[in-house]
Structure 1
Amino acid sequence: MAYCLSSNHPLARTLRDTARGEVAAALADLEKLPEEEAVHQLRKHCKKQRALLRLVRSEIGDLYRYENAHYRTLANALAGSRDAVSMRDALLALAPAGSYPQVQEFLEMRAHSQRDPGALEDTSALLQQGGERIGDWPLDRLQWKQARRGYRKYYRRAHRAMKVALAGEDPASFHEFRKRVKDHWYHSRLLEEKYKDAVVSRCQPLKELAQALGDWRDLRLLCRLLGEHSGELSGELIPLLDAAQERLDALRREIERLGRKLFADRKFSFDDD
């Protein structure tokens, strides 16, 4: 099922339908995908589910806190293995395979050692439990104006996070900006049918911005990890870190370009506001 709310149904119904679709897709990915890809897709489904809940967070209180914690815990159980794979993939995106054989072998071994098949197996039951609760979510009083309110709220949060990130240049602020961009991207996807004129043109550049922020984060994590193991990898480290810094600078410019374009205004207005 597409990650998009249907304008043909009341908000409560289409929220539940979309949430069920994410659970079903996550369970299918667990069954059919290789472990590494299943971990990646499962974490994405959890983030999308949490973003869906955030869209109406102000209206659902305790439900948001409970379900958000559920999907956050589920995703965090797989965070270590995913970060190890992301750093290996950051190296492969930076240079062709075999360019830095020592570093590549080190990262491959580390990614393998971080595997936790047991954690992946446990997620199926947790997903099913979450899916069974969706029918009981107390959403029936929700109206589309409340989804618009949530969209504007998370736009403002992304705008503020951008200002802090571009002023501070530290990994924590860039990570926060990335989280807020992903929320706003997912919210744009959810509302692109209902409010096509206002949000559909934002989806692709938001995806590109989220990707650039993710690449920046993974490369920074890689550089930090390699610095901690500099004695073991000294022969390849200096040229690799030079290449990484050049790529980081390019990503930083792309992040600022897209960010200032997408969040030029402090507030977001729908056509009928």
Structure 2
Amino acid sequence: MAFRIKRGESSQDALRRIACEQIDKGIAEVDDDELNVHDTVHQVRKRCKKLRGLLRLFRPSLGKIYDQENVTFRDAARSLSAIRDAASVLGTYDGLLDHYASQVHRPAFASIRRTLTSQLRELDEQETEQRLKAFRAIFVETRQRAASWKLDDHGFQAIRGGLKKTYGRARDRLDDVRDDPTVEQLHQLRKRCKYHWYHIRLLKPVWPAMLSRHASQLSDLADLLGDDHDLAIFRGMVSSDPETFGSAEDIQALNGLIDQRRKRLQRQAIPLAGRLLAETPEQLADRLATYWKISRK
């Protein structure tokens, strides 16, 4: 079943069903021998993000359940973050060099890639397997609770507050970025926009044609901001220990490519965010409430 609330489905039934489906998929991915460890980590961390997005949508109606389960999924994802980061940096390097393939002499940066590959190989495979085993146990335990989560409200009222809060925070972070586009401010904008993206995906059945387009643009925005953040982290890693990665000239040239690429990504992302976050939280909630009501007739 897709990550969305079905037409005619009660809010509480949707919450429980979607949570259990995502947890079951995460358990299955840990158990899938055909996935390599890095793909497994990538997939199950995505499950945690979706589950946290789901919880945020229902947040005011969940009460203390939100606080407990949000921490559970947050910590579960964090336990695998070092594994994800090592693979992500290598992918970021390859993506950057692919983008500038016609402008750079790739062999000049070979020492950088060798170092990144070596760091990835140094990850303790046994420790990774143990962390995935612990992750699986957390998901199994949480699924038992998810099947009986209860809401204090019903219908659209059960999600209105969470929808507005998450969307409002995204708008606030956009204001911060416009004032001072630091790495951290851009990262916070991406996180809030991604949660809003999950909410639009969940609500897509209330007007598929309209919300599918909006969800697609939010996905594009998340990718732009995600690429920007990965490049910033990569730059910081290389600059903090340049002797490990290569000559000063090579590092300087690499940083120049990163800075150029980040500027272009931000020039695309920030105006797009402005268009996608143009409504006030109240306007957005009222519009989606209308779609919800019509879809239930």
What is the TM-score normalised by the length of structure 2? 0.87
Task: State the alpha-carbon separation in 2 of the partners of residues 196 and 270 from structure 1.
Answer: 14
Q: Quick check: 2:221–2:273 contact (8 Å CA) kept in 1?
A: yes
The answer to whether residue 223 in structure 2 is matched with residue 211 in structure 1 is yes
Among 139, 151, 154, the residue aligned to 1:127: 139
Tell me what 2:88 maps to: 86
Among 249, 255, 270, the residue aligned to 2:269: 255
SS in 1 for 2:205: coil
Structure 1 pair 81–238 and aligned structure 2 pair: CA distance change class (3 A): same
The answer to whether residue 120 in structure 2 is matched with residue 111 in structure 1 is yes
Query: 169-178 or 149-158: which moved more?
Result: 149-158
Tell me what 1:46 maps to: 48
Residues 85-234 of structure 1 correspond to what in structure 2 (within 5 A)? 85-96=87-98, 99=107, 100-115=109-124, 116-139=128-151, 141-196=153-208, 199-232=211-244, 233-234=246-247
Q: One-letter code of the match for 2:14?
A: T
Query: 1-10 or 44-53: which moved more?
Result: 1-10
SS in 2 for 1:192: helix
Shift of 1:212: 0.8
Query: 97-106 or 87-96: which moved more?
Result: 97-106
Q: Quick check: 1:102–1:236 contact (8 Å CA) kept in 2?
A: no
SS in 1 for 2:278: coil
Task: State the alpha-carbon separation in 2 of the partners of residues 211 and 112 from structure 1.
Answer: 27
Q: Which runs of 5+ in 2 are unaligned?
A: 292-297
Query: 178-187 or 157-166: which moved more?
Result: 157-166
CA deviations 1:184-209 (Å, max 9, x no partner) are 00000000102446633210010011
Q: Quick check: 2:190–2:225 contact (8 Å CA) kept in 1?
A: yes
Shift of 1:58: 1.0
Task: State the alpha-carbon separation in 1 of the partners of residues 224 and 191 from structure 2.
Answer: 12
Task: State the alpha-carbon separation in 2 of the partners of residues 114 and 166 from structure 1.
Answer: 38
Q: Quick check: 2:61–2:153 contact (8 Å CA) kept in 1?
A: no
**Count of equivalent residues:** 273
SS in 2 for 1:231: helix
Shift of 1:228: 1.0
Shift of 1:140: 6.8
SS in 1 for 2:287: coil
Shift of 1:27: 1.3
Shift of 1:45: 0.3
Residues 22-33 of structure 1 correspond to what in structure 2 (within 5 A)? 22-32=22-32, 33=35
**Fraction of identical pairs, as percent:** 27
Tell me what 1:58 maps to: 60
Tell me what 1:77 maps to: 79
Among 248, 253, 258, the residue aligned to 1:239: 253
Q: Quick check: 1:192–1:199 contact (8 Å CA) kept in 2?
A: yes
Task: State the alpha-carbon separation in 1 of the partners of residues 271 and 110 from structure 2.
Answer: 34
Tell me what 1:12 maps to: 12
SS in 2 for 1:6: coil
The answer to whether residue 290 in structure 2 is matched with residue 270 in structure 1 is no
SS in 2 for 1:52: helix
Return the index of the structure with the highest Cα Rg: 2
Q: Quick check: 2:58–2:159 contact (8 Å CA) kept in 1?
A: yes
What is the TM-score normalised by the length of structure 1? 0.94
Shift of 1:105: 1.1
Q: One-letter code of the match for 1:89?
A: G
Shift of 1:60: 1.2
